[in-house]
Chain A
Amino acid sequence: MVAYFLRRWLLSLLVAITVSFISFMLLRLSGDPAKALAGESASAADIEFVRVKYGLDRPILIQYLDWAGRAMRGDLGESQFFKQRVTDILGNRLGVTMTLGGCALIFAVWVGIPLGILASLRPNTWVDRFALTLSVLGQAIPTFWFGLVMIIFFGVMLRWLPISGSDTWRHYIMPTIALGYYATPAFMRLTRTGMLEVLASDYIRTARAKGLRAGKIIFKHGLRNAIIPVVSLAAVQFGFMLGGSVVIESVFALHGIGFLAWESIARWDLPVVQAVVLLLSLIYVLLTFAADMLNAFLDPRIRVK
């Protein structure tokens, strides 16, 4: 068990380092980062000044190590636009994105899993087909458009919900649904497949032969086994939601890091962009690592390997 933990941790570390290098290199894509930082109207002398000031004349590897070293100490540079430490800016906005992502995940889980269980208990009946149809339709709807349609319908026509900002919990309802509905089919399908497979297995037959109550068979024996892959899916989907939040946050004007990243891209405030990409990637790596550990806990067979 300890060996497994160490191996996964090492792998996660390696991925984290690679990802950080990629976020670092992202800036270099535009050509000369010194020119980008100096701004459009900079003269050659200004650009040189910026280059030396930010150490952009050193070899790439040194620059990376320097940047990474500072990042590990919590220093992600300074925002060109806000003239504040990036870390502080991120800190303010991260809460909104995490809240949004968390709520969206809960939404997807609480709608997807029960639907999946229902569908698996009555395969090929109208319940099943309804769930599958819903998921096919859901996956075809563009998120940004769904958000806008909800704004028009619930915000303007019915006036039930606020349409922008993040002050009260009501502000999060539409964004949560807009962000969460896209992942719901994945949970529904995975649960359904898992349950169908598990319910056809021999140990379920044994449980039925013992005369256990239907509820116990479905939840204690069935779901317990079927849920194992769903945990990994939850971690991955949460990561995707955090990454994809940029769209929803822009539509609903929520001040999270996704919105911040988009604005910063438009403003060429590159240190912020770099930091957001790095942060989101690291969160994803952490999530998948945690999911692996949870998996090992849930499935006793994995621990032996």
Chain B
Amino acid sequence: MKSILKVKGLHVEIPLAAGPLNAVRDVGFEMKRGETVALVGESGCGKSLTALSLMDLLPRSAKRRAEVLLFNEQDLLKTSEREMADIRGNQMAMVFQEPMTSLNPCYTIGDQLEEAFMQHRKASRSETRKRAVQFLDRVGITAATSRLRQYPHQLSGGLRQRVMIAMALMCGPSLMIADEPTTALDVTIQAQILSLLASLQKEFEMGLILITHDLGIVARMADRVIVMYCGQVVETGSAVDLFENPLHPYTRGLLDCIPVLGKTKPGEHLGSIPGLVPTPIGELVGCSFYNRCSSSRPECAVELIEVKEISPGRSYRCLLSPDVCFRERGGEATR
């Protein structure tokens, strides 16, 4: 499978009154076609901004720079706005978190489904309409033809999110980015939307970047996982590897927070990570997780910590060696 995305050294900086906010720091990863990559982290860790910087949809004040930013072998750092607009919605599509506000209330569903396809493919209205009906069907919306004439406020949240997904698929992109697509929906609808995404991805052989803070979703959907903390990538690997053998103390901490059916005894304390996420404003020194890490050493506070790759696709950003991590984890598991 060929690589569709290669990112290295991605930085996003947002100027604030108190200083420049380094929202995304030295983020790098690769992705192959047909893969589902989960981008995990808590609110404010920079995962949404990373996705937006791929599409070049950052807010006007934000500044993006990267060493490498290749999409399907095309250098995104050198594309003009016009060329970028041709890529967006066409080869690279995004589904956002809030289905309630992501559709224009003044136009019908049909209009909004059709406009991108008609522009990118220069197709006729009837062709596009047929395709729109097909896709609405495919995302599980009944009575697709009459739905086309409806307005967004006439649909429920779950239906609107399906429409957003259909809209993202219309031009057959090779990469879909879904930013917390189910967070704003009912739990019962969440499962439906997720399995829809999974089957669509297989059918259309798309790369899927799934941004989420929910490890349950990661376990269900992801082939590979990228863990972000405070703007940096702290660990990457296959989902299996990550869950069985987390290398970074933050990942460990996240996994410890999850109650496991069968393992966690009733009345037992759930893990939690003490402390608060620091604000990445101004000059930054040392490890971001330092103030909350139980395995920290003095060196962690001052050294520049690079990403260590222990095998292709498996890397982490920590001074501790892999066996130390294993020992630390083993030590805590026998609490």
Q: Chain A interface (Cβ within 8 Å of chain B)? A: 201-203, 205-214, 216, 220-221, 224-225, 298-301, 304
Contact = CB atoms under 8 A, between A and B. Distances in A.
Contact of B89 (A209, A214, A220, A221): A209
Given A203-B101, A224-B106, A301-B105, A209 B153 contact: no
Given A202-B98, A212-B115, A207 B153 contact: no
B96 A211 contact: no
B35 to A, nearest CB: 21
Interface of B: 55, 57, 81, 84-90, 93-94, 96, 98, 101-107, 115-116, 119-120, 151, 153, 164, 167
A210 B88 contact: yes
A221 B104 contact: yes
A81 B254 CA distance: 91
Given A201-B101, A301-B153, A208 B106 contact: no
A39 B86 CA distance: 79
A69 B178 CA distance: 67
A220 B55 CA distance: 22
A304 B153 contact: yes
A202 B105 CA distance: 11
Contacts, number: 76
B106 A202 contact: no
B57 A211 contact: no
B85 A202 contact: no
B104 A209 contact: no
A213 B118 CA distance: 12
Nearest to B104: A203
Nearest to B116: A210
A201 B105 CA distance: 11
A206 B113 CA distance: 11
Given A209-B93, A211-B116, A213-B119, A299 B106 contact: yes
A208 B94 CA distance: 10
Contacts of B106: 224-225, 298-300
B208 to A, nearest CB: 15
24 contacts: A202-B101, A203-B101, A203-B104, A205-B57, A206-B102, A206-B103, A206-B164, A206-B167, A208-B57, A208-B88, A210-B88, A211-B87, A211-B88, A212-B85, A212-B115, A213-B85, A214-B85, A216-B115, A216-B119, A220-B115, A224-B104, A224-B107, A300-B151, A301-B105
A227 B57 CA distance: 25
A225 to B, nearest CB: 6
A224 B87 CA distance: 25
A205 B104 contact: no
Top-9 shortest CB links A-B: A211-B88, A210-B89, A211-B89, A210-B116, A202-B101, A203-B104, A202-B102, A209-B94, A211-B85
B119 to A, nearest CB: 6
Contacts of A211: 84-90, 116, 119-120
